[in-house]
Amino acid sequence: MAQGSENTLKVAHQAFAHFTHGLETGDWNLFLDMLTEDFSFWFPVGKFHGLNVGKDNARAFFQYVSESLKGGLTLTLERFTSNETTVVFEFRDEGMLLGEPYKNRIAVSFDVREDKICGYREYFGSNGKSN
């Protein structure tokens, strides 16, 4: 495996561990620390639907996610795939969303630049009611 890919995997796995911690606990500081200032992300639905640019938007987004969750989500990682710059994680999650039981299947795609995450795309594999 090329050196670039090894770093990409290492950085993305560290970020995914922090991302998991954020979803579980509502504490996003470690994850936010790993984002570049020009970080951009795509989200499928709602207030942050589409492309969102900049770390301030990311901070607002992850705070909004945790405010909606209350009690956190539990994640089960199913697999990951990668190339030189990107790692995709497929996982299932489960918890409470806006006071209702919530389950989903998710793919998140992290773009790595040096030791940071510069891009993120989230995709929904189910309807929020089963995973």
DSSP secondary structure string, 19-74? Answer: HHHHHHHS--HHHHHTEEEEEEEEESSGGG-EEEESHHHHHHHHHHHHHHHSS-EE
The tally of CA atoms less than 13 A away on the side-chain side of residue 20 is 15
In the bound state with a copy of itself, the residue whose beta carbon lies nearer, of 20 and 111, is 111
**Site membership for a copy of itself, residue 81 (CB under 8 A):** yes
In the bound state with a copy of itself, the residue whose beta carbon lies nearer, of 29 and 126, is 126
The C-alpha atoms of residue 56 and residue 120 are separated, in whole angstroms, by 14
Closest approach of a copy of itself to the CB of residue 72, in Å:
22
Of 21-29, 30-38, 76-84, 95-103, which segment contacts a copy of itself by CB under 8 A? 76-84
| 124: Cα separation from own chain's centroid | 12
In the bound state with a copy of itself, the residue whose beta carbon lies nearer, of 39 and 89, is 89
The C-alpha atoms of residue 61 and residue 52 are separated, in whole angstroms, by 9
Q: Which of 16, 34, 105, 120 binds a copy of itself (CB under 8 A)?
A: 105
The residue ranges that bind a copy of itself (CB under 8 A) are 1, 42, 44-45, 49-50, 79-83, 86-88, 90, 105-107, 109, 121-127, 130
